[in-house]
């Protein structure tokens, strides 16, 4: 299972929000590259980089951070937040991301997203499914749709998407444990999917449980920054 640490960026700094609330912001490090290098030194191979300024503005903002980390580490980076038009996709790939992460846009403008899948190849995108009660949530989680997560994933699996991460927004940033039942159901429905769990991881037991139920990856953010999961713990997993 891939251990994928998360770095969320506001004003070029490494932060975490609780349940997507910009008012509940905590700065962990002024220099995201330092954090990324610590992950790389621990033997981790991937990085989930989120441009929170971009997500709010609806256009990629912190691409310089991406460029710096991609240039100075060998981490495989997926980058999301504010990817709303083709120019944003180009900036993200030109700045060194291996994958562009797309969530809300795939819900709100499927035609545009499908055109990108056709232009760049579906293997270049990581689809984000934010979920509340098995329904898709968008717009920084402020808005729940009536779209079942299973239908949403099916639509894009049919279009060639191979990697999906799913965040239960009722769990994110609360360190209360991941949504095992939801993830089990998704993986039963899509056994060939490279499925990545996200949100709620509070300790190593959660990580082991996600591995046990068959997740191909897990995105971990707050649990690392708050010391509930240490880089030493994760180093043992990567060996």
Q: Write out the catalytic residue numbers.
A: 8, 130
SS3 call for 35: helix
Which class for 116: exposed (0-12), middle (13-18), buried (19 or more C-beta within 10 A)?
buried
Instruction: Using alpha carbons, list the distances in angstroms from residue 34 to 30, 52, 199.
Output: 9, 19, 23
Dist CA 147 CA 131 (whole Å): 10
**How many angstroms separate the CA atoms of 134 and 149, rounded?**
6
Greatest Cα pair distance, the chain, in angstroms, is 44
In b/e form, how buried is each residue of 178-213, taking b as 16+ CB within 10 angstroms? bbbebbeebbeeeeebebbbbbbbbebebbebbbee
Please give the backbone phi and psi of residue 62, each rounded to the nearest 5 degrees, phi first.
-95, 40
Q: In whole angstroms, give the CA distance from residue 110 to residue 106.
A: 5
- Percent helix, strand and coil across the chain, each rounded to 5? 40, 30, 30
């Amino acid at each position: 299972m891939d251990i994928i640490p998360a770095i969320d960026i506001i004003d070029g700094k490494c932060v975490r929000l609780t349940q997507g609330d910009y008012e509940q912001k905590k700065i962990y490090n002024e220099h995201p590259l330092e954090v990324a290098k610590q992950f790389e030194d621990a033997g981790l191979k991937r990085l989930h980089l989120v441009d929170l300024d971009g997500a709010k503005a609806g256009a990629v903002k912190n691409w310089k951070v991406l460029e710096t980390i991609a240039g100075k580490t060998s981490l495989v980076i997926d980058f999301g937040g504010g990817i709303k038009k083709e120019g944003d996709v180009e900036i993200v790939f030109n700045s060194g991301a291996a994958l562009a992460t797309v969530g809300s846009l795939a819900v709100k403008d499927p035609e545009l997203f499908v055109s990108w899948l056709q232009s760049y190849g579906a293997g270049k995108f990581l689809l984000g499914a934010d979920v509340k009660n098995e329904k898709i949530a968008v717009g920084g989680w402020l808005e729940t749709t009536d779209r079942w997560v299973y239908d949403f994933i099916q639509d894009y699996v049919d279009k060639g998407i191979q990697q999906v991460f799913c965040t239960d927004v009722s769990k994110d940033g609360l360190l209360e444990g991941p949504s095992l039942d939801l993830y089990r159901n998704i993986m039963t429905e899509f056994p060939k999917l490279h499925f990545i769990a996200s949100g709620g991881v509070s300790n190593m037991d959660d990580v082991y449980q996600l591995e046990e139920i068959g997740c191909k990856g897990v995105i971990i953010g707050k649990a690392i920054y708050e010391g509930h999961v240490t880089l030493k713990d994760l180093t043992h997993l990567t060996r």
